[in-house]
A = this chain, B = another copy of it.
Amino acid sequence: MKIGYLGPDGTFSHTAALRFAKEGNHETVQYQSIPELAAAAQNLSVDAAVLPIENSLEGGVNTTLDCLAFDCDLKITGEILLQVHQNLLSNSEKIIKIYSHPQPVGQCGRYLAKNFPSVPIVFTNSTAEAAILAQKEEGAAAIGSDTLADIYGLKIVAKDIEDANTNTTRFVVAQRDGKPDALADKTSIVFSVSDTPGALFKMLSVFDIFEINLVKIESRPAKTVLGEYIFFVDISGSAENDNIKMALETVRYKSTFFKVLGSYKEDKSGV
C-alpha cells in the first residue's frame, strides 16, 4: 500500500506516516501541501493519506477539516496520536531570526514571548523547511522536532519549549474507498444546522436520545455568511451499529449539510 504524507523529511507528519506504514509494511510518498496530498488520495495516486487534523494546544487544522468537509470525498479509516515536542534549533550563538511553521509558533507562544520578545518570526510551510532555512543562515533558528536537528545538522538550543506538557497532534488516515472494519469504535461526522434558535441544542439532543457519547465537537465556518457554522463531531461506536445508524439518519434528515467522514479504530496508545 502507498501512504502519502506531508513532507519534507522530518516533519511530525513524516513520523506519524512512518509509524502507520511500519505496522503494515507500507511504502511512503511525500507531498508538499495538504490539498495536494488529499487530491492524491482522491485520484488514487496513493492508497491512503496521513493528514494532521488537530493539535491539543493549537486546535483544528483548518485545511484538513475543509478538505474533508468540502473539497474531497475521502473516508477516515484510522487515526494516529503523536506526542509532539518542539525545540529551538540553531547553530548560531546569537539568534536574530526564527523560522517556523505557524502551528509551532502557537504551541510555543509563551516561551517565545518570554525569551525572544523582539526577534522576528518568519513563517514557513513546514517545520522541516524552517530547519533547512535556519541551517543555511547565520543568526537564524528553527522550531521543530529533535529529529530535524539530526537530519539537517542543527544543534538543540532549547528542548521541549511548548507551552504545556501535553502537546499531542492527531492525524487521520484517509482513503477514497475506505470502509469501516470490524474493530471500528469511533465515527467522525460533519453537519450544519439551520440558523434558528436552539438548532444545535436540538441536534445534540438526538445523540442524547440514542445514548451516544460525543467525544469531540468542533465548529468551523460554513463559508456562507458570518455566523453560520458546520460542526465536526466524533462519537463513540461504529456507523455500522444499528443504534448509531438510526441516530445518524435522524441527524442527516434534520441537517442542511451532512457527511459521515468514516468509522475507524480509536488510537488508545496512551499518548
> What 1/0 flags go to A188-206 for Cβ under 8 Å of B?
0000000001101100110
Chain B residues contacting A229 (CB-CB under 8 Å) are: 216-218
- Is the C-beta of A223 less than 8 angstroms from some C-beta in chain B? yes
- A161 CB to nearest B CB, Å: 15
Chain B residues contacting A66 (CB-CB under 8 Å) are: 109
> What 1/0 flags go to A58-75 for Cβ under 8 Å of B?
110011001000000000
Identical subunits present: 2
A102-B123 CB under 8 A given contacts A170-B226, A227-B215: yes
A121-B125 CB under 8 A given contacts A106-B63, A221-B55, A226-B168: yes
- Is the C-beta of A96 less than 8 angstroms from some C-beta in chain B? no
Whether B106 pairs with A164 at a CB distance below 8 angstroms is: no
Q: How many residues of A contact B (CB 8 A)?
A: 49
Whether A208 pairs with B198 at a CB distance below 8 angstroms is: yes
- A225 CB to nearest B CB, Å: 5
Chain B residues contacting A223 (CB-CB under 8 Å) are: 56-57, 163-164
- A266 CB to nearest B CB, Å: 11
Most buried by B among A56, A122, A125, A164: A56
In angstroms, Cα B104 to Cα A123, docked, is 14
Chain B residues contacting A227 (CB-CB under 8 Å) are: 56, 215-216
In angstroms, Cα B164 to Cα A123, docked, is 26
Chain B residues contacting A221 (CB-CB under 8 Å) are: 54-59
- Is the C-beta of A113 less than 8 angstroms from some C-beta in chain B? yes
Whether A54 pairs with B226 at a CB distance below 8 angstroms is: yes
- Is the C-beta of A224 less than 8 angstroms from some C-beta in chain B? yes
- Is the C-beta of A81 less than 8 angstroms from some C-beta in chain B? yes
Chain B residues contacting A31 (CB-CB under 8 Å) are: none
Most buried by B among A163, A214, A227: A227
- Is the C-beta of A220 less than 8 angstroms from some C-beta in chain B? yes
Whether B56 pairs with A225 at a CB distance below 8 angstroms is: yes
In angstroms, Cα B166 to Cα A198, docked, is 24
- A123 CB to nearest B CB, Å: 3
- Is the C-beta of A124 less than 8 angstroms from some C-beta in chain B? yes
- A38 CB to nearest B CB, Å: 11
Whether A164 pairs with B35 at a CB distance below 8 angstroms is: no
Q: Which 8 A-B pairs have the closest CB atoms?
A: A123-B123, A56-B226, A201-B204, A168-B226, A197-B213, A218-B219, A59-B221, A166-B225
Known: A56-B223, A56-B227, A59-B219. 13 other contacts (CB 8 A): A55-B221, A56-B226, A62-B106, A63-B106, A66-B109, A102-B102, A102-B123, A123-B124, A198-B208, A198-B214, A200-B217, A201-B205, A217-B219
